[in-house]
Amino acid sequence: MKTTEYRNNEITISYCPFKCTQSDVCTEELSNVFQNSVIPWIDPNGSSTESIIKQIKKCPSGALMYKRHKKEMAY
């Protein structure tokens, strides 16, 4: 299985299943985004970007990562 990506307007969340230790920290603490019983299991629009980033930083294995998108310039 390879790394999968999930995007909202502000960030891309990536998930590497090889690294995941199934600690369930993400699914227990932010279940609107990380859901065991749903495919796809990550809903990047399930909570605010800041909440998602905060949760990703708690992933003990490093399986979850994120990249912020560059802001569009307004003219």
Task: Give the contacts of 6 (CB within 8 A, at least 6 positions apart).
Answer: 12, 13, 14, 15, 40, 42, 43, 44
Comparison of 25 and 53: residue with beta carbon closer to ligand SF4? 25
Tell me how far, at minimum, the Cβ of 60 lies from ligand SF4, in Å.
6
Radius of gyration of the chain (CA): 12
60 sits near ligand SF4 (criterion: CB under 6 A) = yes
Should residue 64 be labelled a site residue for ligand SF4 when binding is judged by CB under 6 A?
Answer: yes
Among 6, 11, 13, 26, binds ligand SF4 (CB under 6 A): 26
- Interface positions with ligand SF4 (CB under 6 A): 20-26, 59-61, 63-64
